[in-house]
Structure 1
Amino acid sequence: MGDWTVIGTITLAAVPESVGDARRFATETLPDGDRTDTVELLVSEACTNSVQHSRSRFGGKFTLTLSECGGAVRCEVVDDGSPTLPTRREGGELRGSGYGVMLIETMADRSGHFVEDRRLHTWFELD
């Protein structure tokens, strides 16, 4: 991929209500297209993980940055990290939650995470 151009950034309190705000921000910022529903779902999953699992949930914030490059879209969520890295849940038992990482890995063309300055960066890209 070439150089990514940031098309929007929003920083929100790490509370459940902010997940809907992040989703709305993404759909309003990105051009309408085939990927809109997928971006909306995956942004929701990534932001929910920040709200539920990161140190940001203790009165902190998370930041969502949207970028584009040659028709591809990149979404990155940065939070205060946690003692463990995001992992994909395995196993066949039914659960009400815990599928966010699996959805991101399955539905995005590329995805990952890294820690920089004790902050967790979770990202995914859609072509």
Structure 2
Amino acid sequence: MPDAAAVWVGRLRRIGRAKLNAWGLTALVDDAQLLISELVTNGLRHSTEQQITFRLVVGTDVLVMEVDDGSPALPRLRQADSDALDGRGLLLVDAVAASWGVSSDGTRTWCTLKFPDTARRSR
């Protein structure tokens, strides 16, 4: 990943952490930062327009993270070789997120995290 892309991934992780802490959702910070890293990295890697749009949305009992990269190529789960340096991003998303998917035109990839019971009660 080019240095500028790595800077943006780190910046969006820090913004996500700050927002979640401000919203009282500190229990989601670690998982959200991992998911932000994977979605944003994939978006920057596959963007057709040299830019992406990242959204962090708080719902009633779920956090939604989505990246629009403008690419119509559908992301897919794949098995990476044990010595491969990449190819595990969506496997991590699938393992950590409550749900995930891709828009019908392939340009937007999203995932969700459910709020822990304590966050749901305090909101």
Q: Do Structure 1 and Structure 2 share a fold, with TM-score over 0.5?
A: yes
Amino acid aligned to 1:124: C
2:64 aligned partner? 74
2:18 aligned partner? 28
Aligned length: 108
1:121 to 104, 108, 114: 108
Instruction: Mark the structure with the bigger radius of gyration.
Output: 2
TM-score normalised over the length of structure 2: 0.77
- Taking a change above 3 Å as real, the CA distance of residues 52 and 34 of structure 1, as seen in their structure-2 partners, is same
Percent identity between the aligned chains? 29
TM-score normalised over the length of structure 1: 0.75
The structure richer in helix per residue is 2
The structure richer in strand per residue is 1
Q: Deviations over 1:40-85 (max 9, x none)?
A: 01101100001112213xxx21111111122311111111215x21
For structure 1, which runs of at least 5 residues remain unmatched after alignment?
A: 1-13
Runs of 4+ that moved beyond 3 A: none
Amino acid aligned to 1:88: L
Counterparts of 1:33 and 1:18, CA distance in 2: 22
